[in-house]
Amino acid sequence: MDIEKLTAVETKEMIGKKEISVQELVESYLSRIDSVDKDLNAFISVSRSEALEDAKRLDKKIGRGEALGALAGLPIGIKDNIITRNIRTTCGSKMLENFIPPYDAKVVEMIKKEDGIILGKLNLDEFAMGSSTETSYFGRTKNPIDMERVPGGSSGGSAAAVKAGEVALSLGTDTGGSTRQPAAFCDLVGIKPSYGLVSRYGLVSLANSLDTVGVLGKDVRDAGLLLSTLADFDPMDSTSSEKANRETIVAALESGNKLEDIRGMRVALPKEFFQVEMDQGISREINKAIRLLESLGANIEEISLPHLEYSLAVYHIIVASEISSNLARFDGIRYGYRAEEYSSLDELYINSRTEALGEEVKRRIMFGTYYLSESNTDSHYEKALRLRRLIKEDFDKAFEKFDIILSPTSPILPFKFGEKTRDPLSMYKADLFTVPVNLGGFCAMSLPCGYEEGLPIGLQIIGDRFKDADIIKAGLALEGGLKNGL
Amino acid sequence: MVTKEQIEKIASLCKLRYSEEEIDQFAEDFTQLLEYMDKLNEINTDGLEALYSVNDHTQRLREDIVGESLEREELVKNTREEQFGYFKILRIVE
């Protein structure tokens, strides 16, 4: 039996029943990494000895009959922009090539507390800026479904590692689609929680008003399991919400795929999303999923979100502006790359940053600095923030009448390496359906819903703020229906 | 239209160095991008409040209680140049 083909929930059951020891399980996953990662390149760092030590410790705990955490024994990978104590954290950048964090991110601490086993750190676009995992200083990650294609991004390593059976679950991050789009490209479930539901303490900021930690798994139950262990208020993160609570998520997972949850569910289809030009096969498969929901008893209605067309431009300005501020901390002094040669303090900054930051990162710092500069801030940054309010209010209004909103996750199918890098605007378009969700702080899931010539297609299920349980309920029902060929 | 001089000014604010050709390329890219951003001016946003954060709460204050802290040695181990337990930089005060 190939243990890595099992879902995380099934694996956890096996461990609970002592059908396999945690050490055997971890060894099996590590040897899987050894055999596939040279080519796939999902990992930046594998924390082999720490993982094996953790496994042995947990086996002893099981032997003593102690109560186990919710993630007991599950091999988990962490996107490399989430810091891990004593395990190198690079953000996919030369700037942090040798950075060893002195403490754990809150989410890492929580995974350890729930007895999850961390196998290592996963590849990403440099500082999570990208949609294809092609800009990492540590090389590009391939898509396990078709090795000539990108795995999506920026959490491409997180998606590829789960798909290839190198980890059972993974953490990604999502600022404008960086968990959902790679989930769609690798035929997985990815959840971007409501902003404020999961702590950002120890996540290296890209655009802090939009950043969230995301989860990836083979199915809704797996991704939901990981999310349910992380949803909590954290006083160490000033943007964490006191509304954060895991109970409704746990309840949705426990009640399972219940048809009554879908009967009468009010589902909105924004017409603006469906007017977008998409790759072949996407609208066909999305429509099939919509008809399935309808046949299960959901009430489907078309709606309009009139300001949606501005979201990409608004997103670009806000992200670049926040990046230019957040990346000012990389000065070569306290941590990170320091140039060998410099003759003044200014030169130390300039040489270190110029030598160690990648092209796309520097471009965005430049654009953001422009938007924030004195004469432009009102016409660009502030303007974008005022439009952000209109975009969020469109969604707020929709959620007064509807439980969930549906769209494709991405208008494009997994593309070949280099295909979009020459035209950044077409790359940004990959995030068209996902960025509005971050602008409003809503929650969303990408769910596999079909194929076009072997390439996977993702359906996006969007929920209201802190109604993360709703998207899990809808996801469970749809997944059940799709698997049964309804 | 964004000029070369403006780009040079931005690069210096960013503490980044670019070659002559790269500056020219940036001037072109900026101009193209700003044309795209012009789309935002289709919408009148007068009187609307900027949405900096989606949260309802404002910055929370907590009690100032002594808690666990990080070890000094751990904090300086990530700098390339360290001396006497401090981050070493150039002499900046004569």
pLDDT at A256: 74
Q: Rounded to whole angstroms, how far apart are CA atoms A449 and A5?
A: 19
Q: How far apart are CA B85 and CA B77, in angstroms?
A: 9
Q: What is the pTM of this model?
A: 0.97
Chain A's closest residue to B73, CA to CA, is A102
Asked if the structure places residue B77 within a domain, the reply is no
Residue B11 lies in a domain: yes
The four Cα atoms A35, A38, A43, A49 give a dihedral, to 10 degrees, of 50
Which of these three, A379, A407, A434, is where a domain ends?
A: A379
Q: Are the beta carbons of A353 and B53 separated by less than 8 Å?
A: no
Domain membership of residue B90 (yes or no) is no
**What is the structure's pLDDT at A419?**
86
Same domain for A322 and A469: no
Q: Is residue B85 part of a domain?
A: no
Crossing angle of helices A311-326/A383-401, nearest 10°?
120
Whether residues A273 and A157 fall in one domain: yes
Is B8 part of a structural domain of the chain? yes
**Which one of A348, A379, A410 terminates a domain?**
A379
A418 and A323 housed in the same domain: no
**Contact A102/B80, CB-based, under 8 Å?**
no
Q: What is the pLDDT of residue B69?
A: 87
Residues A354 and A395 in one domain: no
Quote the CA–CA distance of A153 and A173 in Å, as a whole number: 10
SS3 A335: coil
b/e string for A88-111 if b means 16 or more Cβ within 10 A?
bbbbbbbbbbebbbbbbbbbbbbb
Which of A363, A379, A395 is the endpoint of a domain? A379
Question: One digit per residue, pLDDT tens: chain A, 486 residues?
Answer: 689 999 999 999 999 999 999 999 999 999 999 999 999 999 999 999 999 999 999 999 999 999 999 999 999 999 999 999 999 999 999 999 999 999 999 999 999 999 999 999 999 999 999 999 999 999 999 999 999 999 999 999 999 999 999 999 999 999 999 999 999 999 999 999 999 999 999 999 999 999 999 999 999 999 999 999 999 999 999 999 999 989 999 999 998 777 777 889 999 999 999 999 999 999 999 999 999 999 999 999 999 999 999 999 999 999 999 999 999 999 999 999 999 999 999 999 999 999 999 999 999 999 999 999 878 778 899 999 999 999 999 999 999 999 999 999 999 999 999 888 666 667 677 789 999 999 999 999 999 999 999 999 999 999 999 999 999 999 999 998 887 766
Best of B22, B80, B83 to mutate (most A CBs within 10 Å, chain A): B80
Query: Which residues constitute the domain of residue A370?
Result: 313-379
User: Which chain A residues are closer than 8 Å to B33 by Cβ?
Assistant: 367
Same domain, A260 and A327: no
Task: Find tokens 């006083």 and name the residue.
Answer: A235
Tell me whether strands A299-303 and A404-408 are parallel, antiparallel or unpaired.
Answer: unpaired
List the CATH number of the domain containing A419. 3.90.1300.10
**Is B23 an 8 Å CB contact of chain A?**
no
Task: State the CATH number of the domain containing residue B35.
Answer: 1.10.20.60
CA distance A207 to chain B (A): 11
One domain for residues A432 and A324: no
Q: Does B65 touch chain A (CB under 8 A)?
A: no
Candidates A68, A57, A55, A76; CA nearest to A17 is A68
Same domain (yes/no): A446, A397: yes
- Whether residues A369 and B75 touch (CB distance < 8 A) is answered with no
Say yes or no: A303 and A323 in one domain. Answer: no
Residue B59 lies in a domain: no
* Distance, CA of A404 to CA of A270 (rounded, Å): 11
Q: What residue of B is the nearest CA neighbor of A97? A: B78
H or E, element range at A392: helix A383-401
Number of domains comprising chain B = 1
Which candidate, A219, A212, A130, A220, places its Cα nearest to that of A171? Answer: A212
Instruction: Say if strands A43-46 and A189-192 run parallel, antiparallel, or are unpaired.
Output: unpaired
> What is the Cα–Cα distance from A35 to A15, expressed in whole angstroms?
24
Q: Same domain for A76 and A47?
A: yes
pLDDT at residue A425, as a whole number = 67
Find the domain containing B3 and state its range: 1-43
Q: Are A351 and A331 spatial neighbours (Cβ–Cβ below 8 Å)?
A: no
Residue B2 lies in a domain: yes
Chain B residues whose beta carbon lies within 8 Å of the beta carbon of residue A387: 40, 43, 45
Q: What does pLDDT average to in each consecutive run of 10 residues of chain B (94 residues)? A: 92 97 92 88 93 87 87 88 86 64
In a domain, B33, yes or no: yes
Point out the residues of A that are catalytic.
Answer: 79, 154, 178
Q: What is the DSSP string of A400-413?
A: HH-SEEEEES-SS-
Residues 6+ apart with CB under 8 A from A26: A51, A52, A54, A55, A73, A75, A117, A119
Chain A residues close to B16, C-beta within 8 Å: 350, 353-354, 357, 362, 365-366
End-to-end CA gap in chain A: 29
> Do residues A243 and A277 share a domain?
yes
Chain A nearest C-alpha distance from B6 (Å): 9
Number of domains in chain A: 2
Give which of B51, B68, B73 to mutate to test A binding, by max A Cβ within 10 Å.
B51
pLDDT of amino acid B90: 79
Same domain? A247 vs A332: no
Same domain, A260 and A198: yes
